[in-house]
Structure 1
Amino acid sequence: MDELVREWSAQLLDSGNAAALIAGLVSLVLVLNRTTWLPLRNVVTIAHEGGHAVVALLSGRKLNGIRLHSDTSGLTVSTGKATGPGMVLTLFAGYPAVSLLGLGGAWLVTVDLAHVMLWGCIALLAAMLIAIRNAYGVLSILVTGGALFAVSWFATPAWQALCCALLSWFLLIGGLRPISELSRKRSRGRAANSDADQLARMTGVPAGLWLVLWFLLGLVTLVLGGTWLLLMPQV
């Protein structure tokens, strides 16, 4: 039985297209299934809040802290000018950050640099840990970082690539669901202080247009990243 499993694994990993397709289908199920989505959404929230934090720092704002909550919501607090390009970019960055991280991961997998993706994510999580201001946030970062470290340390290069392909697919697909969820919340009169609504008040551009823009960006990255993964020669 063990020999059959090893043989099946070897055949799967030698076939990049099949492995990437299976990883994509698994990620789709993980995102669409409520039972798996609820805990795994924390990964998306980490990427989302990390995007806010990075752009806040790049735009010259002071990062005061990040909170990750058990309901999978998050909050990044920074100080600086209350209006202007820096604040707009900081508010805008959260949703695209998830998809762009998935796109970057997809590219690294296709050029046989999965280990760079793993250690890069670990380094980003370590930096983010410094800014976390609540216990659940610390736990989320440690669990996520621990899982990535285990893959980077114990898995073979082929399985590292497959795990990174799975993570890339999950971010590419999972980056779209929170946008849809926010749209439904807003249609019921909830989430009045969402990123989209804050941008609307600051720029005069309707919140719905920000949602459409985020969703279109997510679709473009999904198509591009998915194409890279499906056409890679091997995993």
Structure 2
Amino acid sequence: MDVIIASGTDLFDRLTGTQPAPPWWLVILVGLLALGTVLHGRTWRIARNVVTIAHEGGHALIALVTGRKLDGIKLHSDTSGVTVSRGKPHGPGMVFTAMAGYLTPPLLGLLFAALLAAGRITLMLWFSLALLGAMLVMIRNVYGAVSVLVTGAVVFGVSWLAGPTLQAAFAYLAAWFLLFAATRPVIELQRTRAQQMRARSMYLSSDADQLAHLTGVPGLTWVALFIAVALGSLALGGLLLAPDTASLPGL
């Protein structure tokens, strides 16, 4: 019993304690790696699954918070996803649920940046695990379950087995990636919308167009909101993650 209590205390101390920030060069290096991952087409097609997990997780969380009944989440190999919830087909709950998808990745990246700026590296990693575990319960297809399990296994392996420097590098990489990655799906969204409008498609099904139908506010306005939140989060998150100038080598 004493061993169990001691282990629980150690884990609590790890979660609530602070860890030293990584070297300045490592913060910059993983930031450049995250940016390269977003800009490189082939790498992006794989890494975009992480953004989809955050996107659909945002829909699901807000659906539950606003009192809607969550039926399940599906993630697909083309990096698309769908979250099905039941409730009123209109009203604030539906609006906030539709808004949440594109807003979640940048805001989650900003939250991660705030935790890392406070030295809470372990807490940030285990918070990520908790989110993935909660989402796994609602996954309703094999590809989605595998995606979430693989992502969770990587996070768990790093947080439990890796040394402090590797943990810090991974945590900063995740935060940088979400901040950089949040803008590209919105750009892709507007590109698809423009193509559909040129083709005079009768049914525009994106989140922005669903919000336009629900609120009467044009879809382009919602796209602009998504971009503004993504860029604002990147700016503020970048300030939080940037190395302290005192740690930089003198010129």
Comparing 184-193 and 25-34, the one that deviates more? 184-193
> Match of 1:231, SS?
coil
Aligned amino acid, residue 68 of structure 1: L
Q: Which residue of 2 aligns with 1:30?
A: 37
Aligned counterpart in structure 1 of residue 66 of structure 2, from 44, 59, 64: 59
Gaps of 5+ in 1: 1-12
Q: Which residue of 2 aligns with 1:83?
A: 90
Cα distance in 1 for partners of 2:164, 2:231 equals 29
Question: 1:175-211 deviations in whole A, cap 9, x for unaligned?
Answer: 1100000111111017810100000011010101100
Comparing 79-88 and 152-161, the one that deviates more? 152-161
The verdict on how the C-alpha distance between 1:109 and 1:184 changes in structure 2, with shifts beyond 3 A counting, is: same
Partners of 1:112 and 1:161 within 8 A in 2: no
1:217 aligns with 2:237: no
The verdict on how the C-alpha distance between 1:220 and 1:14 changes in structure 2, with shifts beyond 3 A counting, is: closer
Partners of 1:68 and 1:75 within 8 A in 2: yes
1:188 aligns with 2:195: yes
Question: 1:44-85 deviations in whole A, cap 9, x for unaligned?
Answer: 000000000000000000100000000000000000111000
Q: Which residue of 2 aligns with 1:72?
A: 79
Deviation, structure 1 residue 231: 3.5
Aligned counterpart in structure 1 of residue 214 of structure 2, from 178, 196, 202: 202
Partners of 1:122 and 1:145 within 8 A in 2: yes
Cα distance in 1 for partners of 2:137, 2:240 equals 34
The verdict on how the C-alpha distance between 1:105 and 1:228 changes in structure 2, with shifts beyond 3 A counting, is: same
Cα distance in 1 for partners of 2:30, 2:96 equals 32
Sequence identity (%): 50
Partners of 2:68 and 2:93 within 8 A in 1: yes
Q: Which residue of 1 aligns with 2:23?
A: 16
Deviation, structure 1 residue 15: 6.1
The verdict on how the C-alpha distance between 1:14 and 1:114 changes in structure 2, with shifts beyond 3 A counting, is: closer
Equivalent residues, number: 222
Q: Which has the larger radius of gyration?
A: 2
Cα distance in 2 for partners of 1:19, 1:134 equals 37
Partners of 2:21 and 2:168 within 8 A in 1: no
Partners of 1:27 and 1:170 within 8 A in 2: yes
Partners of 1:122 and 1:149 within 8 A in 2: yes
Partners of 2:21 and 2:119 within 8 A in 1: no
Gaps of 5+ in 2: 1-19
Over 6 Å off, 4+ runs: none
Deviation, structure 1 residue 24: 1.2
> Match of 1:179, SS?
helix
Q: Which residue of 2 aligns with 1:9?
A: none
Q: Which residue of 2 aligns with 1:107?
A: 114
Deviation, structure 1 residue 107: 1.2
Q: Give the number of the structure with larger relative contact order, counting CA–CA contacts within 8 Å between residues 6 or more apart.
A: 1
